């Protein structure tokens, strides 16, 4: 049994944050596949009683500890490994600020948009898709501006703010119908820098369940 188990599935950008961090820090980890689509596993009483009362992935199991919320998992792994860890109080607060913005606004809208476009039955109502696309455009513009003239989201080295922000940004362009990296040059260049970190892998390589069982 590996040191860490991560409940996840390949299409989850929220889980990708945790999987990517585990790989980047060189942790001994293994995925525990969650049948989100066909099995509706996160909505079952068993999952909510035994795995996560919030009915979500990712869930990180480390010995007797069971952690959920990718921001919490990233913080825990950064503190344990000393890698991608904000160093000062100001940096810690700044990293937290971007993780919350990312969870709510950036990937918080990209995730549902991509789900409704590719996996939901029936697919998303056009009015809902238009609303989400407007929010996505606004938020990506903010992140692109943040990255203008900077190498990383916070400070002068990669931190968990970068690992969080990548959540949904490496999935294929055709799953969105728009090219995020191509139309946001600073985001595009930063995604290449993250990709160059030793241990980086695409979400479809890192987590089980691609192609999905719909
Ligand atoms: N803020 C959470 C979001 C987690 C989340 O929404 N996960 C989705 C999968 S991508 C989920 O498990 N949803 C369960 C459901 O909708 O039933 C995090 O960052 O961990």
Amino acid 50: pLDDT: 98
HSE-CB of 44 using CA atoms within 13 angstroms: 12
Residue 57 CA to ligand 1 center (angstroms) comes to 5
Query: Which residue has the least CA distance to atom 14 on ligand 1?
Result: 56
Amino acid 59: pLDDT: 99
CA distance 72 to 60: 10
Residue 149 CA to ligand 1 center (angstroms) comes to 32
Closest atom of ligand 1 relative to the 57 alpha carbon: 12
Closest atom of ligand 1 relative to the 69 alpha carbon: 20
Amino acid 15: pLDDT: 99
Amino acid 146: pLDDT: 98
Tens of pLDDT, residue by residue over 105-160, are: 999 999 999 999 999 999 999 999 999 999 999 999 999 999 999 999 999 999 99
Amino acid 30: pLDDT: 98
Amino acid 127: pLDDT: 98
Residue 94 CA to ligand 1 center (angstroms) comes to 23
Q: Which residue has the higher pLDDT, 214 or 87?
A: 87
Classify residue 124 by its DSSP letter.
P
Amino acid 11: pLDDT: 98
User: What's the distance, Cα to Cα, between the start and end of the chain in Å?
Assistant: 29
Ligand 1 pocket: which residues have CB below 6 Å? 12, 14, 42-43, 55-58, 69-70, 103, 111
Close Cβ partners of 159 (under 8 Å, ≥ 6 residues apart): 78, 84, 85, 86, 91, 95, 152, 153
**Average pLDDT for the chain:** 98
Pairing of strands 4-8, 65-68: unpaired
pLDDT band, very low/low/confident/very high, at 185 (cuts 50, 70, 90): very high
Amino acid 195: pLDDT: 98
Amino acid 153: pLDDT: 99
Tens of pLDDT, residue by residue over 39-70, are: 999 999 999 999 999 999 999 999 999 999 99
Tens of pLDDT, residue by residue over 3-16, are: 999 999 999 999 99
């Amino acid at each position: 049994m590996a040191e860490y188990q991560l409940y996840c599935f390949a299409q989850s950008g929220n889980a990708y944050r945790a999987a990517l961090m585990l790989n980047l820090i060189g942790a001994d980890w293994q995925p525990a596949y969650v049948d989100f689509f066909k099995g509706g596993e996160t909505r079952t009483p068993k999952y909510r009683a035994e795995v996560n009362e919030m009915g979500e992935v990712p869930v990180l199991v480390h010995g007797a500890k069971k952690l959920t919320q990718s921001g919490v998992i990233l913080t825990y792994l950064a503190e344990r490994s000393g890698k991608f860890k904000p160093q000062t109080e100001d940096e810690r607060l700044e990293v937290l600020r971007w993780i919350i913005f990312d969870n709510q606004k950036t990937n918080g809208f990209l995730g549902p948009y991509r789900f409704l476009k590719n996996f939901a039955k029936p697919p998303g109502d056009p009015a809902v898709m238009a609303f989400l696309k407007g929010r996505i455009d606004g938020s990506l513009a903010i992140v692109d501006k943040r990255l203008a003239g900077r190498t990383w989201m916070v400070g002068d080295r990669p931190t968990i703010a970068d690992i969080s922000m990548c959540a949904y940004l490496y999935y294929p362009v055709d799953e969105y119908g728009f090219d995020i990296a191509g139309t946001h040059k600073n985001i595009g260049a930063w995604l290449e820098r993250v990709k160059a970190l030793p241990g980086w892998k695409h979400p479809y390589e890192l987590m089980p369940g691609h192609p999905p069982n719909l």
